[in-house]
């Protein structure tokens, strides 16, 4: 019985404690996001960049568009999204293009039905 308890303790240590210790060693604080804090925005990655678009906060909605470079640890604000501000949108990527759309206008029952394409190569 004692062997079983030792085995269970060892197993719990390996499954619960070691990953936490390993993750803490690998965490490095990066540049803070310079825009306004938000929720329900959309993030996507293409090539070596991360992108953030839209979202909401009380009392408003965003249509701003940001690019993050992990190599230089720098946020750059891109041209605003030309459509209406939204939250809870959908985004998919293919190659150097992102497809962004749908989402909510302001309430859960007030939807957007449009879709947009962003080309990272031409920045349009």
Q: What pLDDT does 18 receive? A: 56
CB 31 within 8 A of CB 75: yes
Residue 41, burial from CB neighbour count under 10 angstroms (0-12, 13-18, 19+): buried
What are the φ/ψ torsions at residue 21 (nearest 5 degrees)?
Answer: -65, -40
Distance (Å, whole) CA 38 – CA 62 = 8
Question: Tokens in use for 63?
Answer: 């249509």
pLDDT at 9 over 80: no
What are the φ/ψ torsions at residue 7 (nearest 5 degrees)?
Answer: -65, -45
Per residue in 59-101, pLDDT (tens digit) is 889 999 999 999 999 999 999 999 999 999 999 999 999 999 9
Per DSSP, the three-state class of 59 is coil
Query: What's the average model confidence in pLDDT over 10-17?
Result: 60
Per residue in 37-64, pLDDT (tens digit) is 999 999 999 999 999 999 998 888 999 9
Q: What pLDDT does 60 receive? A: 87
> What pTM was computed for the model?
0.76
Give percent of the chain with pLDDT exceeding 70.
Answer: 79
Distance (Å, whole) CA 50 – CA 29 = 16
Q: How many Cβ atoms sit within 10 Å of the Cβ of residue 65?
A: 19
């Amino acid at each position: 019985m004692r062997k079983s308890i030792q085995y269970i303790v060892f197993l719990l240590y390996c499954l619960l404690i070691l990953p936490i210790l390993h993750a803490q060693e690998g965490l490095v604080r990066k540049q803070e996001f310079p825009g306004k804090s938000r929720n329900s925005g959309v993030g996507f990655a293409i090539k070596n960049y991360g992108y953030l678009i839209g979202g909401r906060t009380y009392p408003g909605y965003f249509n701003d568009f940001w690019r993050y470079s992990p190599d230089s640890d720098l946020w750059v604000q891109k041209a605003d999204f030309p459509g209406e501000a939204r939250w809870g949108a959908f985004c998919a990527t293919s190659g150097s293009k992102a497809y962004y759309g749908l989402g909510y206008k302001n309430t859960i029952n007030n939807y957007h039905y449009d879709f947009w394409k962003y080309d990272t190569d031409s920045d349009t």
